[in-house]
Structure 1
């Protein structure tokens, strides 16, 4: 019920006789004719309308009770006002229940929306955690591949140094048999020295070994050049030129 309906139930034109309970019950503000909530009303509009209808019903009930008290000996008028007050009190209670149900519906909708937000946040957190685990697993796999490649390069370098074909590890040297070193060692000499007492065909080789002039020691094997920057190479070249000039001057 709107404020206009409440006004027509509680106020009468000046100079007009007061309305009786039957006139109020049959008028435009009767409880059966109270306007209901609009079908497309928003939540805020519906709640405000229900609250306004409750306030209007409360004012009408108070007005009816006041008219019943002023009726005096007119039993019919008093009973009519009381019946009308009872009808508007029932409307007040009905609107109060509707308002409670509406507020409960809003509360459940708000809780459902909050739960949906929490579920969405949990899904995002789970997705981020799964992505983090995937990144960690990918990093571990890349690290394992890098370590395997490093081991393969190290094995290939070892094979090249040992003279073995690339891709195959050089066979480890077989352990010497016990006593083999003592057997190869002459009674009174070093294993690297030739036998002091050659016999038979070894005599010619023994003579050539001691008669041949000593061989000149060759240059030491050059170490592989390190990966130097351009500035480092220029500095090394200047040092070499300076050393060459010092040698010529000396």
Structure 2
């Protein structure tokens, strides 16, 4: 039976098997979607083994492999130069091709938000942040402030995406931005909490947390206490998964059943 996977370290928290499994069942496709725990030192061996398996259609990639995997697959779409990280690998004949569906998945929930000429804050500077900054670089935002432990890495990211803004350490006061995005693992189960003061944000700000385990993070709870609009991690997760599903299985997922899917994922 053909199958696809999600890989990461850790991986037990992943909801991707439930998402893809729901869509496969809904469409009557004879296929599986699995989770595979792959440690950094086993990444090359993983791809070598899957390349030899004709039933394997590809994989999604989560923490911490989004950048390292680029060195192990073909980059026909120039993802290294544009985003610098991949979250999806697909089989094309005997070749393994890397791509990124995170940028599209991030943008979909905020497509109706007018960010032109407004400031944005991004927390984190890893693989997910790269996809988010790539999307922001095409939205004509004003300034982007990145909060990150490694300020030099954050500053380099701003430069690489041609974004104006500032790189500041975690814990620095927020500017009055229109959008705040947590693109880090802070607040995720098993990770340190994200301690941040949202009071500088204006009343029309949107707080977007890509963490989905737990779904109701402390960041989102704090934003809702202030009656700010919020976007949770399932929105981006389902959005990027939909793009990957079509690449893996050659069919569009039934997005008209998103509410049913969300109910399953949060039960």
After TM superposition, is the score higher than 0.5?
no
Bigger radius of gyration among the two: 1
**Structure (1 or 2) with the greater strand fraction:** 2
Classify the TM-score, shorter chain.
under 0.3
Q: TM-score, normalised by structure 1?
A: 0.19
> TM-score scaled by structure 2?
0.18
